[in-house]
């Protein structure tokens, strides 16, 4: 029967040997247990954003579902609960600490708005961290409750494939369990990369797996890397008053629009973050007083530099969490260069009933909402009779640096590379948020640009927004761009006054015109 | 020749007797002065958002343009500079004082985020008001500079029509000037309405024309009205720590979605604004100690109530500034009931070469961006060879109450009225902004709903968002809805995490389903 099912599946991939789930979210264990061949209809490995979304959706569609999740402690010993990177060591604690940093600036604004706050106001890391950690713990618990409510079985075990339908789970105490499933989804995500070749890196450094869980302030910090993780961490550390340095080998925010990226780091530099550009660390060692002495090569001058820090944070990329999965036992192919799992547009791996979603997959954006949507759509295709594929095009995102950078669609470079300089029109503006005026904040880096095809009606290819609340601003435009918005339609959209987002619908100056893009007046 | 032009204009309204402006923004005064018949190609009456946008655009297209502007002091004697309501007594000072109020809440949040701010922090009205007023004055100056740079002639005179091409301007000292123009645009906007029938209203009350220019704190304030002006003012006054009461006769935010409006006032009430509902004031009098005693009728109980306040602010609507224009001399028709000017889709009044834009026009949204766009498009049609009309449909807006309310498109009531209950599907969610968690803020009123047609692909008819930064959130969705977004397309849009705006693209619960719309977790 399994052979027949496989054969049917081959005929277009839509025809399932399971009858569709009954309506109303009733558990379909009986249906699912056709022939009682497997323990579960769906086994999800990894309880992060994508895995949980997929599991919950499948359960809602009446299937028998299990999630296995296990957090290997970081080299520093940091561990956390259910929910994956986003909840524990990513988006959530990051955004909360970003908010803490923003509040620092707003407190400095406050006297200009009439609030009699005695300056300067000191910041207490312990208090912030405890509040953030408590919130994360409440989310861990919330995820447990959600799985329970939807009758998804949860196992806190480390999983490895035994064969293509069976996974062995090993609990903390060493106890083992065998779980079999008709469909298996791998959603184990990734972990920060340690530059193991650098002496002292692993021994003395921390990563984003640790920073949000520190009980004590990291103090004077060196952040190594130029990723958004590096810049976001350096941004909030600076914002809460810590002496913070970013060391980067080459360009910031590779893959993002480079003009915007430069403005992001320019803003950070003008607000106190130090930058060591063109430098790579060569050694970290602990001094007798407990401080860390970092030695680096400055590739511009060819000289060696040294500095002492309380904390060294590596933000030099992430590696997929595939090593302990024994993927070879199941025959799941990975990329030889990245170790990420290879999938097709249906998220299927080289083994047709094994899927992978989220950060563990080759070529996917490493973002919570894409993993969530991919997981949900996958469950709907598997158990809900849907044929909707995840569309990874025009995915918006926002970098939560002190001045936030939101974008969707193509960077200017990419648009030019694809369409040619002559076929691309870029509209742009330097604007001043109204709220910046009263406290006299510098708005030099508040900038928006829209990348369009030049030919009327000038299809919008990409939008790039640097300014306060960039995430809130960008989301709606992502819908517009998804709907095929043209520059003409953007110009027909009435602004909301006074906001920063209205600057997008007021973009009248093209780069090609050479005119001053500074917004004046209302 | 004028007759011929009028005749040609009648044939579709696109054919102009002036040659198109030369490219590149070169002044076309010579062209414009065909026959030297009029002083100006375009005369704009009113230097507010719409008028200035129209004047600047026309000048950019090479025409000879003049703007006349004059601010009649408020009954309290408040006066201000160039730029109109938005800049001086509207959006700009309002948003800045709103920001001041928001900062009050953020300062209370700050200790939870580790900032050791001694609480409570007192607020100094004088300092805030001075900063806000200085910013407004800088904008006044900016507008003057911009007109000068674009060679738009500016007259600080009070204008009234002499005939259909001529306007008399009277300066402060009484000096008069006659200005004639081929095209005239009326953009005089409106002013707050005083309830003149209420004893003491005019004598002791102030309006939004005054509140932003007060040097001293208004103190304990009664805001009368249920308009967005009333709620915004009451919101920021409460937020900076003043004892504030809103008195409303009937429903808040008439014309807006009523479920959202209720949540707005519910949030305000839970954050300290007092509400006297179903009440109308009958008298204001000054007590010997200088306080104002207000007497009102409570229509629910039928009883009379009284209270004392330092300030009474009327926010009971606005009247168009048309009375002193002598519109009858030019033959411009107004609505008998509202006194607003009647125009067609090209913004033309009953006199073909006289136009009106902005708040002074009957049936238009009273919003700066619509006036700006209407003014610019009008100039482009008049002098730029364009035929693009202003589209007043699906105009987004945001009410800057303490919890901001942004919306675009139809309210739920209106959608049901137009399409019928059975053909409308409403998706909704109660969500909690991530930033609210750490300080333990109550998010009971953070709510979003999307009103769609029920039939696939479920065209989006309206979006309503109540929460922080609603203006920033709503703008982009206004583009999407303008592009004809469907619910299916909204669901295909990937969220930006963690934001409040992502709640819109995660709306999966319909009202019809009866399921709990409370968002849990990140999924």
- What is the model's pLDDT at position B27? 34
SS3 A21: coil
Is the same domain home to B58 and B181? yes
Chain A hits for B372, Cβ within 8 Å: 495, 522
* Same domain, residue pair B358 and B480: no
Indicate left, alpha or beta for B389 from its phi (over 0: left) and psi (-120 to 50: alpha).
Answer: beta
- Do the domain assignments include residue B447? yes
Measured over the CA atoms of residue B9, residue B13, residue B19 and residue B25, the dihedral's sign is positive
CB B47 within 8 A of CB B155: no
The secondary structure of B144-213 as a DSSP string is HHHHHHTT-EEE--EEEEEETTEEEEE-TTS-EEEEEEEEEEE---EEEPP-TTSBTHHHH-EEHHHHTT
Going by the DSSP 8-state scheme, the letter that residue B10 receives in this structure is H
Specify the pLDDT at position B520. 74
Q: Does A306 have pLDDT greater than 80? A: yes
Residue A318 — pLDDT band, cuts 50, 70, 90?
A: very high
Residues B334-362: pLDDT tens digits? 999 999 999 999 999 999 999 999 999 99
pLDDT digits (tens, 9 = 90+) for A354-397: 999 999 999 999 999 999 999 999 999 999 999 999 999 999 99
Q: Are residues B187 and B60 in the same domain?
A: yes
What CATH number should be reported for the domain holding residue B48? 3.50.50.60
Which of A125, A366, A494 has the highest number of chain B CBs within 10 A, making it the mutation to test binding with B?
A494
For residue B104, count CB atoms less than 10 angstroms from its CB and return exposed for 0-12, middle for 13-18, buried for 19 or more. Answer: buried
Same domain, B274 and B261: yes
Reported ipTM: the value is: 0.93
* pLDDT at residue B35, as a whole number: 53
CB A219 within 8 A of CB A308: no
- B216 with B310, same domain: the answer is yes
DSSP A439-477: TT---TT-EEEEEEESSTT-BEEEEEEEETTHHHHHHHH
Q: pLDDT exceeding 70 applies to what percent of chain A?
A: 93
Of A317, A352, A367, A347, give the one whose Cα is nearest residue A474: A367
On the question of pLDDT at A448 being above 70, the answer is yes
Q: Is residue B306 part of a domain?
A: yes
Model pLDDT for residues A476-506, shown as the tens digit of each residue: 999 999 999 999 999 999 999 999 999 999 9
- Is residue B11 a part of any domain in this protein? no
Stretch A19-43: mean pLDDT:
56
For A36, the token pair is 């009682």
Same-domain check for residues B87 and B234:
no
Q: Do A435 and B523 touch (CB under 8 A)?
A: no
Alpha carbon distance A457, B46 (integer Å): 34
Confidence of residue A520 (pLDDT cuts 50, 70, 90): confident
Position B339 in a domain: yes
**Same domain, yes or no, for B126 and B237?**
no
* B1 within a domain of the structure (yes/no): no
Residue B390 inside a domain? The answer is no
CA pair distance B60, A508, nearest whole angstrom: 13
One domain for residues B54 and B186:
yes
**Shortest Cα–Cα distance, A225 to chain B (Å):** 22
Contact A298, A279 (CB under 8 A): yes
Contact A351, A371 (CB under 8 A): no
Q: What is the mean pLDDT of each run of 10 residues along chain B (523 residues)?
A: 38 33 34 68 98 98 98 97 98 98 98 96 98 98 96 98 98 96 98 96 98 98 98 98 97 97 98 98 98 97 97 97 96 97 98 98 97 98 97 97 98 98 98 98 98 98 98 98 98 98 98 93 53
Q: Cα–Cα distance between A417 and A368 in angstroms, integer?
A: 28
Q: Which of B265, B287, B316 is the last residue of a domain?
A: B316
**Phi and psi, residue A230, nearest 5°:** -60, -50
Instruction: Based on the fold, state whether residues B170 and B63 are members of the same structural domain.
Output: yes
Count other Cβ atoms within 10 Å, centred on residue A421.
10
Q: Are A152 and A67 in contact (CB under 8 A)?
A: yes
User: Which of the residues A473, A475, A489 would you substitute to probe the B interface, choosing the one with the greatest number of B C-beta atoms within 10 Å?
Assistant: A475
Q: Where are the beta strands (DSSP E) in B25-79?
A: 40-45, 65-68
Domain boundary among B295, B316, B337: B316
What's the pLDDT tens digit per position in A184-211? 999 999 999 999 999 999 999 999 999 9
Q: DSSP readout, B353-421?
A: TEEE-GGGBTT----HHHHHHHHHHHHHHHHS---PPP--TT--EEE-SSSEEEEEE--HHHHHHHH-G
Residue B431: inside a domain: yes
What are the start-end ranges of the E strands in A337-403? 354-356, 397-399
Residue B452, beta-bridge partner list:
B425, B460
Residue range of the domain that includes B422: 403-513
A51 has a pLDDT exceeding 50:
yes
- Residue B146 with chain A: CB contacts under 8 Å: 520-521
The residues, ordered by sequence, that sit 6+ positions from A21 with a Cβ below 8 Å of its Cβ are: A28, A31, A61, A62, A63, A383, A384
Q: Which of B269, B226, B265, B227 is nearest to B248 (CA)?
A: B226
Please, what is the Cα angle at A461 between A460 and A464, to 5 degrees?
95
What is the spatial distance between Cα A290 and Cα B421, in angstroms, rounded to a whole number? Answer: 70
Q: How many domains does chain B have?
A: 3
Q: Looking at the predicted structure, is the pLDDT value of residue A115 above 60? A: yes
Pair B326, B182 in one domain: yes
Both tokens of A49, joined, read 């954003």
Looking at the structure, do residues B55 and B163 belong to the same domain, yes or no?
yes
Residue B17 falls inside a structural domain? no
Query: Based on the domain organization, do B303 and B431 belong to the same domain?
Result: no
The answer to whether A135 contacts B395, with C-beta atoms less than 8 Å apart, is no
Question: Helix axis angle, A91-109 relative to B91-109, nearest 10°?
Answer: 120
Cross-chain CB nearest to A143 (options B131, B139, B521): B521
Question: Residue A485 is nearest to which of B391, B396, B483, comparing CB atoms?
Answer: B483
Structural domain ending residue among the three candidates B286, B316, B346:
B316
């Amino acid at each position: 029967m399994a052979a027949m099912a496989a054969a049917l599946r081959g005929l277009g991939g839509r025809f399932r040997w399971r009858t569709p789930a009954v309506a109303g979210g009733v558990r379909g264990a009986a249906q699912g247990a056709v022939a009682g061949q497997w323990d579960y209809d769906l086994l999800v490995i990894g309880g992060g954003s994508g895995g949980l979304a997929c599991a919950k959706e499948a359960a809602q569609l009446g299937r028998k579902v299990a999630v296995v999740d296990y957090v290997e402690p970081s080299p520093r010993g940091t561990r956390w609960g259910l929910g994956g990177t986003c909840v524990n060591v990513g988006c959530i604690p990051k955004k909360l600490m970003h908010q803490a940093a923003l509040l620092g600036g707003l407190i400095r604004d406050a006297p200009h708005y009439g609030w009699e706050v005695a300056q300067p106001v000191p910041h207490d890391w312990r208090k912030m961290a405890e509040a953030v950690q408590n919130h994360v713990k409440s989310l861990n618990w919330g995820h447990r409750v959600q799985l329970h409510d939807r009758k998804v079985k949860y196992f806190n075990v480390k999983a490895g494939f035994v064969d293509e339908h069976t996974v062995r789970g090993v609990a903390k105490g060493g106890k083992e369990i065998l779980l079999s499933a008709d469909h298996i989804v791998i959603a184990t995500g990734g972990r920060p990369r340690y530059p193991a070749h650098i002496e002292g890196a692993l021994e003395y450094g921390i990563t984003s797996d640790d920073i949000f869980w520190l009980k004590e302030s990291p103090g004077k910090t060196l952040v190594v890397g130029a990723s958004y993780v590096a810049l976001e961490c350096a941004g909030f550390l600076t914002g809460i008053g810590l002496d913070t340095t970013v060391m980067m080998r080459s360009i910031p925010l590779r893959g993002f629009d480079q003009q915007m990226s430069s403005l992001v780091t320019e803003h950070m530099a003008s607000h106190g973050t130090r930058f060591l550009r063109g430098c790579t660390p060569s050694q970290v060692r602990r001094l007798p007083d407990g401080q860390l002495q970092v030695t680096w090569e400055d590739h511009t001058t060819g000289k060696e530099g040294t500095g002492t820090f309380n904390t060294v944070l590596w933000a030099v990329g992430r590696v997929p969490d595939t090593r302990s999965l024994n993927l070879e036992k199941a025959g799941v192919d990975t990329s030889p260069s990245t170790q990420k799992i290879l999938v097709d547009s249906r998220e299927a791996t080289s083994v047709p009933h094994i899927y992978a979603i989220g950060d563990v997959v080759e070529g996917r954006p490493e973002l919570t909402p894409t993993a969530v949507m991919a997981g949900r759509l996958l469950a709907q295709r598997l158990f809900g009779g849907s044929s909707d594929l995840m569309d990874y095009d025009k995915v918006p995102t926002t970098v939560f640096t002190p001045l936030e950078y939101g974008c969707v669609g193509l960077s200017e470079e990419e648009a030019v590379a694809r369409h040619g300089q002559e076929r691309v029109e870029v509209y742009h503006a330097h604007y001043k948020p109204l709220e910046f005026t009263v406290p006299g904040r510098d708005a030099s880096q508040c900038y928006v640009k829209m990348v369009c095809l030049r030919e009327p009606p000038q299809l919008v290819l990409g939008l790039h927004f640097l300014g306060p609340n960039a995430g809130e601003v960008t989301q709606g435009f992502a819908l517009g761009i998804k709907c095929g918005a043209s520059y003409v339609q953007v110009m027909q959209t009435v602004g909301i006054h006074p906001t920063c987002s209205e600057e997008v619908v007021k973009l009248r100056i093209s780069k090609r015109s050479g005119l001053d893009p500074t917004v004046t007046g209302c």
